[in-house]
């Protein structure tokens, strides 16, 4: 094998995974894949009337750029299609290919360290309390035209957490060898430094 190095970053909705993952990828010059986007793109096609398995099997790169993938309606649909084993299977090969590319890769999601890349070189589980996560997502939404109340966003976050953690296929949980980063009381810079430090520690060992 050449010089691939895989960083798996998992955690619940709005814990800061995306921000931490992008910063880690930029710091080390690795490619970055937001795997949630794959499930969101499938969810969006299902809202558009397609069957979930067909949507997953025919998913194309340009589907990841569809408009509205960040909406909470699409997020809820994504977590519904994500319980279907055949949907997850159809998305596995793409994620594994991405993970083992030369030059290194960061993937963020729910099951990267447990199912997609159990042999990842570094594994992080980024989390925060449901209240903190709902506040962050609500603040993010102020930049869009969505008018959901904080209570509604918290209810959505909890519904998605429950579905993601309780499903039979690839449930959301930390891998045994993942480093836990709780960002409830951390600034973005602090969370990013902790993540970069953890990946650096693994890099000097390999």
Of 139-198, binders to ligand CDP (CB under 6 A) are 160, 164
Helix (H, G, I), strand (E, B) or coil at 42: helix
> Which of 39, 45, 128, 181 lies at the binding interface for ligand CDP (CB under 6 A)?
39
Strands (E), 80-146: 105-109, 122-127
Torsion sign (Cα): 156, 71, 169, 100: negative
Least CB distance from residue 108 to ligand CDP, whole Å? 7
Does 78 bind ligand CDP (CB under 6 A)? Our answer is yes
Compute the distance between CA of residue 182 and CA of residue 126 in angstroms, rounded to an integer.
Answer: 6
**Considering only 20-28, 45-53, 108-116, 138-146, which stretch makes contact with ligand CDP by CB under 6 A?**
108-116
Say whether residue 75 binds ligand CDP (CB under 6 A).
yes
Count residues contacting ligand CDP (CB under 6 A)? 15
Among 40, 45, 136, 138, the residue binding ligand CDP under the rule CB under 6 A is 40
> Closer to ligand CDP at the Cβ: 64 or 203?
64
Minimum CB distance to ligand CDP, residue 28 (Å): 21
Q: Which is nearer to ligand CDP, 9 or 199 (CB)?
A: 9
d(CA 135, CA 93) in angstroms, rounded, equals: 35
**Distances from the Cα of 67 to the Cα of 63, 64, 70, 113, 116, angstroms:** 9, 9, 8, 29, 27
Beta carbons within 8 Å of 134's beta carbon, 6+ residues apart:
14, 150, 153, 154, 156, 157
> Which span sits near ligand CDP by CB under 6 A: 46-54, 103-111, 122-130, 173-181?
103-111
Does residue 79 bind ligand CDP (CB under 6 A)? yes
In the three-class reduction of DSSP (H, G, I as helix; E, B as strand; rest coil), residue 93 is classed as helix
Task: Give the interface with ligand CDP as residue ranges (CB under 6 A).
Answer: 13-14, 35-36, 39-40, 75, 78-79, 82, 109-111, 160, 164
């Amino acid at each position: 094998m050449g010089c691939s190095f895989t960083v798996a970053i998992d955690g619940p909705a709005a814990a800061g995974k995306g921000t931490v993952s992008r910063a880690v990828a930029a710091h080390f010059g690795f490619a970055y894949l937001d795997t949630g986007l794959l499930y969101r793109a499938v969810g969006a096609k299902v809202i558009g009337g397609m069957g979930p398995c067909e949507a997953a099997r025919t998913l194309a790169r340009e589907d990841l750029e569809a408009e509205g993938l960040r909406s909470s309606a699409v997020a809820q649909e994504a977590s519904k299609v994500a319980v279907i084993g055949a949907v997850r299977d159809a998305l596995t090969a793409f994620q594994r290919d991405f993970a083992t590319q030369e030059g290194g890769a960061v993937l963020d999601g729910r099951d990267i360290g447990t199912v997609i890349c159990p042999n990842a070189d570094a594994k992080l589980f980024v989390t925060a309390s449901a209240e903190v996560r709902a506040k962050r997502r609500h603040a993010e939404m102020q930049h869009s035209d969505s008018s959901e109340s904080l209570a509604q966003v918290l209810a959505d976050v909890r519904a998605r957490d429950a579905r993601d953690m309780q499903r039979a296929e690839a449930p959301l949980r930390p891998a045994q060898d993942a480093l836990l980063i709780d960002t409830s009381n951390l600034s973005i810079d602090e969370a990013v430094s902790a993540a970069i430090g953890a990946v650096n520690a693994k890099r000097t060992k390999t």
